[in-house]
Structure 1
Amino acid sequence: MGLVNQLAPLGVALAVALSAQSAAADLPLEQSLALAFSAEREAMRGMTSSLVSRATTPLDDPTAILRYDASYLVTMPQSSDETVQCLAEAIYHEARGEDVYGQFAVAEVILNRVDLPNYPGSVCGVVHQNASRLNACQFSYACNGRSRAMTEPGARRLANAIAQVMLGGAPRELTDGATHFHTNGVRPRWALSFHRTAQYGSHLFYREPVQLTSN
């Protein structure tokens, strides 16, 4: 949600209050003030309710209003940093058809893998793991023989912004530590033994079982 959109309800609140004040102009002073204040209070309550509902869908986090607003994200300056580009590439090719939450969720999976010892320790390493093996890599776009170019400008800008936000330290709160995902059109064998943590659009997210080692 851009700043203009956040302020729009405030404008409505003021307009309603002013309208009430105008309508109350012919009433006794005490009644006029009561009517005006009542209208203003109701309008401001509606504004607060509007902002809260946006902030709590699906998260109860007011700071997420801008973070999960695609119209705001696409206005961010683009980054040419290699790590940002690698993460943006994966977001673009794996999830550009999903809404902004689904794209953030894919970013979470990649960053969760970076933190684990059984995956490469960098974003680029994770998204390009086994890319040299045709149709046998971790993320299908990286080894299906097709171009990795991000040719849709809007989707490319959004993916780049999401990558920047996540690499900047935004909390990973959508997938509960997921390390894998697949579309609902396939049924990989590993999904039978992994714990499903979330679904966004056509993507299902899973957390792989923790491997305990004995001393």
Structure 2
Amino acid sequence: MSLLKSWTGGAAILLALAGGLRAEVTVSQSNDPTEVAEQGLMSVLWTERSAMSAIDKRRVTALTMAPERSKKHATLPEVLSAKWLAAQPAAKGGEQFQCLSQALYFEARGEGVKGQQAVAEVILNRVDDPRFPGSICGVVHQGNSRACQFSWYCDGRSDTVRNKGAYAEVAKVARAMIDGAPRSLTDGATYFHTRAVRPSWSRRFAKTASIGHHIFYANPVRTASN
């Protein structure tokens, strides 16, 4: 019998004599490769669970669920077009739809369809981003005591829609984007500005697209080295 076996046996006897039957079982399990593997698996699962719980629930939903599409728009084009929109019925919807339609009307009614889709992408990307409000209306109306994210909402001017035809067109874009049209134009952008200005904040973000009269930006990807 080896010295190690003698020591182990002696330890077990002492534990048993001391009423340490449970401790003897623990010593036995510590030498079971299966038990060690199970303990390692539990540790990994616990780490993953802790990491997942730290992620905003909206982000988890966006990563794990496909966009909800209405039956009416079971098949939506990768990029919307004037021809496709002309074939669609008049757009309708509730409060969130109206907020997106208004935003597109005041921010992008002078753009082509592609430019309107790009602006809609920014708003919907913000909804999915935990740094912004979790609804379309919340994003569109976001602001503070100094200014609003979308200046038309708090510039002191009337928000009455005067061009009904233009509103009907952007409303179709809003409907298609809410129904799940792909966000394929701006590469995840959450910011934009017109070409006529160059705001200081634009230097802090990564340019992702230039469409119509707007330039689009996203938060730069951070790695362990930066």
Category of TM-score, reference length = shorter chain: 0.5 to 0.7
Report the equivalent of 2:176. Answer: 165
* SS of equivalent to 1:108: helix
Contact 2:77–2:182, Cα closer than 8 Å, also in 1? no
Q: Aligned to 1:94, which of 80, 100, 107? A: 107
Q: In the alignment, residue 166 of structure 1 is paired with which amino acid?
A: M
Report the equivalent of 1:69. Answer: 81
Structure (1 or 2) with the larger CA radius of gyration: 2
* SS of equivalent to 1:112: helix
Report the equivalent of 2:131. Answer: 118
Give the C-alpha shift of residue 69 in structure 1: 2.3
Give the C-alpha shift of residue 70 in structure 1: 2.1
Q: Distance in 2 between matches of 1:154 and 1:71?
A: 16
Distance 1:63 1:121, change over 3 A: closer
Give the C-alpha shift of residue 193 in structure 1: 1.5
Q: Distance in 2 between matches of 1:212 and 1:140?
A: 33
Report the equivalent of 1:178. Answer: 189
* SS of equivalent to 1:181: strand
Distance 1:212 1:133, change over 3 A: farther
Contact 1:129–1:138, Cα closer than 8 Å, also in 2? yes
Give the C-alpha shift of residue 146 in structure 1: 1.0
The answer to which structure, 1 or 2, has the higher relative contact order (CA under 8 A, 6+ apart) is: 2
Give the C-alpha shift of residue 63 in structure 1: 5.7
Q: In the alignment, residue 186 of structure 1 is paired with which amino acid?
A: V
Query: Does residue 108 of the first structure (1) align with residue 121 of the second (2)?
Result: yes
Gapped runs of 5+ residues in structure 2?
1-74
Q: Distance in 1 between matches of 2:83 and 2:166?
A: 11
Q: In the alignment, residue 150 of structure 1 is paired with which amino acid?
A: V
Q: Could you report, residue by residue, the CA deviation over 1:152-203 in whole angstroms, capped at 9, with x for unpaired residues? A: 1121011111111000011100000000000011111110111111111110
Q: In the alignment, residue 172 of structure 1 is paired with which amino acid?
A: R
Q: Distance in 2 between matches of 1:153 and 1:90?
A: 14
Q: Aligned to 2:166, which of 137, 151, 155? A: 155
Q: Distance in 1 between matches of 2:93 and 2:76?
A: 26
Query: Does residue 141 of the first structure (1) align with residue 152 of the second (2)?
Result: yes
Q: In the alignment, residue 212 of structure 2 is paired with which amino acid?
A: G
Q: Distance in 2 between matches of 1:78 and 1:64?
A: 17
TM score, norm. by length of structure 1: 0.64
Q: In the alignment, residue 85 of structure 2 is paired with which amino acid?
A: L
Give the C-alpha shift of residue 81 in structure 1: 1.2
Contact 1:181–1:204, Cα closer than 8 Å, also in 2? yes
Calculate percent identity across the aligned residue pairs: 51
Contact 2:140–2:149, Cα closer than 8 Å, also in 1? yes
Give the C-alpha shift of residue 212 in structure 1: 8.0
* Count of matched residue positions in the alignment of Structure 1 and Structure 2: 149
Q: Distance in 2 between matches of 1:177 and 1:80?
A: 25
Gapped runs of 5+ residues in structure 1?
1-61
Report the equivalent of 1:56. Answer: none
Q: In the alignment, residue 168 of structure 1 is paired with which amino acid?
A: D
Q: Could you report, residue by residue, the CA deviation over 1:38-97 in whole angstroms, capped at 9, with x for unpaired residues? A: xxxxxxxxxxxxxxxxxxxxxxxx9638x6222442552221411110001001100111
TM score, norm. by length of structure 2: 0.61
